[in-house]
Amino acid sequence: MFFVGIDTGGTFTDLIAVDGSGRCRRWKTLSTPANPSHAILEGLKHLLKGVGNPSGQIVHGTTVGTNAFLERKGAKTIFITTKGLEDVLWLGRQARPQLYSFAGVRPPDLVLRDDVLGIDERLDFKGNVIRALDAEEKEKALRFCTARGAQSIAVGLLHSYANPCHETEVKKALSGLGLPISLSSEVLPEFREYERFSTTVINAYLWPVVGNYVEELESKLPSWNIFIQQSHGGCRPAASIGSQAVHTLLSGPAGGVQAAHALGLELGIDNIITLDMGGTSTDVSLCAGGLTYTREYQIDRFPVAVPIIDIHTVGAGGGSIAWIDSGGVLRVGPRSAGADPGPVCYGRGEEITVTDANLFLGRLLPQAFLAGRMELYPERLPPRIKELASRLALDPVQTALGIIKLVNVNMVQALRAVSLERGHDPRDFVLLCFGGAAGLHGAELAGELGIRQVLFPAMAGVFSAMGMAAADLKFRSSRAAIMKDESDLHALPQLYREMADQLLHDIASHGLDAENASIDFYVDARYKGQSFEITVPFSKDWRLSFESEHKRLYGFCVTEGHVETTALRVEINIPRDVGAVTQSSIEVQSRRDFPRHAKILFEHGEKIATVLTREEALRAGCQKGPLLVIDDFSTILVPEGWATRPLGNHLMVESI
């Protein structure tokens, strides 16, 4: 019986398996973007080599939905809305991302304007029927979907959060088409039409893509129970994930943040900023005593109003390509070499990347890359870096150092976005670094922000997969509850019971046991007259919690102010009996021999660094930089002015 976590990234696919004795196996292989399941099957074959007929549970963090969205390769989607609201998706909030542009550039549409149908029906904000939905309108919707060649349907009607009756009637009328139908009253039963419509359309657009991918994966792994990581941290059964496709947009990064928070609790570290640097992008998040969530996430400027772990992503990874803009200035990213063709040193790429610059500067050892399993070609670098340098009128070393400096600037800006720009001093936090490329940049990034401690966890190279292997099952629901009068608030406990019962019924339909489940209740509240709300735990003292949080966020509270609710939320968490994955014993991959000293080029000249394995660094205790610490799937650079300190089976790097 194995608990397996699988994180599919743009460059590498990471796998980790924990068996019944607590022993942990790990593997990393190049992703196969054309069909991600190929890399998964190949990785599982190596990960569980020698195990006859393995089985157990797999939690998979997938980028299939994200990639389909960004590349506009989702399903042909028809959007049905209330007559008069056909242009809401294009009007949005009238925000202008390019403030001084007379003709702003819009991202490509998910739904064509000709694929939007307005039907003649109407509800008021309380859910009362003003204009009934008649048979002629339902027949019109059926003809429209057939004529337009629909592959998926999104339905978003005015005020359906208050009464879903008309959306339900539309779904029933279209059910004979055999197509996936996303109702806004099921995807996001909350007010604010633009955000509700956008989220529903994204869910419909991705449903067939995500659903078909997961079905194919399940067919290839019949002996495994497969769960899909969700953007809010937990996982849910793969069988239902198509209808919840919008919850997979940050599936992979969420697993790493979840694991980082759990590790912080285990080590007694409350304040953590996570840095997950892979081959394609870098994801950062702030945990000040707990996970940070947002319902204001946007992907390519489209709002996604479901709860998501607050993660800031930048196009800065090991595969980020160095290029020269029209003004002759060196740039790095966001375009990435990915898994195919990959960086120049992988053997096929032709454009210099961050990984190439690190190898050229001596910060990567070819003999130790991916435990010596993947051959690098450093001889391919000099002519290509020299050519890039000549166009910049620099020497090759300056060019490589410039690439590192620029990618670090991009990541520092992301770290500032989740800390300083939100009122947190990064010096009060520990920077927790993971992902295959983070070890080479973590200490330098911390130095830029005045952070004095950088934690590199065991299994840093596959840390997100580890978080997935240990993820709990989570089910969430929400509903609009716009209650302005004191008398209305007495109904809240009954509404919560109804929501919890519905969630428990959903859990039972998947054959899951909720006996050990925990149930948490939250309420969205605001002062009368405010435009936005705050989410706080619901209890008999929820108003005090609201005032305390309002004061923390905005510096004041109105103790006599009239508080109104806008939405109710329920979360059910079911622990999976995985054990303490972070304490699992690690199976180390075989390595080739590598030199015990390395010449590393820094901004202020060449330094000789001692080369240690992670196990040697842990045994040696405090060691001053410059050091290179080699793990199976990551390399940690400890510059001068920094030193290592063992922390259990994890490595703390501290400023001295």
The pLDDT value recorded for residue 487 is 75
Tokens 């978080």 sit on residue = 467
How many CB atoms are located within 10 Å of the residue 540 CB? 7
582 pLDDT higher than 70:
no
Q: How would you classify the pairing of strands 293-294 and 56-61?
A: unpaired
Burial of 476 (0-12, 13-18, 19+ CB in 10 A): buried
With cut-offs at 50, 70 and 90, classify the pLDDT of residue 300: confident
Decide if 538 is inside a domain.
yes
Residue 55 has, within 13 A of its CA and on its CB side, a CA count of: 5
Structure tokens at 404: 């590192």
Contact between 431 and 471 under an 8 Å Cβ cutoff? The reply is no
The type of residue at 244 is Q
Contact between 200 and 187 under an 8 Å Cβ cutoff? The reply is yes
Among 194, 188, 262, smallest CA distance to 434 is for 262
Decide if 238 is inside a domain.
no
Decide if 123 is inside a domain.
yes
Task: Among 535, 556, 574, give the residue marking a domain's end.
Answer: 574
Which value, in Å, is the radius of gyration of the alpha carbons in the chain? 26
Q: How far apart are the first and last CA of the chain?
A: 45
The pLDDT value recorded for residue 52 is 85
The pLDDT value recorded for residue 559 is 86
- C-alpha torsion 632→638→639→643, nearest 10: -160
CA distances (Å), origin 278, targets 257, 313, 314, 448, 652: 14, 11, 11, 20, 20
Tokens 């030193």 sit on residue = 643
CATH number at residue 118: 3.40.50
CA distances (Å), origin 317, targets 61, 132, 277, 356: 18, 54, 6, 12
The pLDDT value recorded for residue 522 is 96
Counting every residue written for the chain, the total comes to 656
Contact between 255 and 464 under an 8 Å Cβ cutoff? The reply is yes
Decide if 492 is inside a domain.
yes
Q: What are phi and psi of 69, to 5 degrees?
A: -65, -55
Task: Among 557, 574, 591, give the residue marking a domain's end.
Answer: 574
How many CB atoms are located within 10 Å of the residue 290 CB? 10
Task: Among 186, 212, 238, give the residue marking a domain's end.
Answer: 212
Decide if 93 is inside a domain.
yes
Give CA–CA dist 99/619, Å, rounded: 56
Give CA–CA dist 302/309, Å, rounded: 17
- Tell me the pLDDT of the chain averaged across its residues: 92
78 pLDDT higher than 90:
yes
Among 117, 127, 53, smallest CA distance to 89 is for 117
Decide if 278 is inside a domain.
no
Q: What sign for the dihedral angle of Cα 248, 10, 54, 212?
A: positive
Helices (DSSP H) in 92-174: which residue ranges?
A: 135-147, 165-174
Contact between 636 and 623 under an 8 Å Cβ cutoff? The reply is no
CATH number at residue 532: 3.30.1490
Decide if 511 is inside a domain.
yes
pLDDT, tens digit, 9 for 90 and up, residues 517-546: 999 999 999 999 999 999 999 998 999 999
- For residue 119, give its domain range: 72-212
pLDDT, tens digit, 9 for 90 and up, residues 442-459: 999 999 999 999 999 998
Structural domain count, the chain = 2
pLDDT, tens digit, 9 for 90 and up, residues 188-226: 999 999 999 999 999 999 999 999 999 999 999 999 999
Q: How would you classify the pairing of strands 518-527 and 563-574?
A: antiparallel
Q: What is the DSSP letter of 450?
A: T
Decide if 171 is inside a domain.
yes
Least confident of 9-23, 242-256, 266-280: 9-23
Residue 376 has, within 13 A of its CA and on its CB side, a CA count of: 20
The pLDDT value recorded for residue 461 is 92
**Do you find a cis peptide bond into 457, omega within 30 degrees of 0?**
no
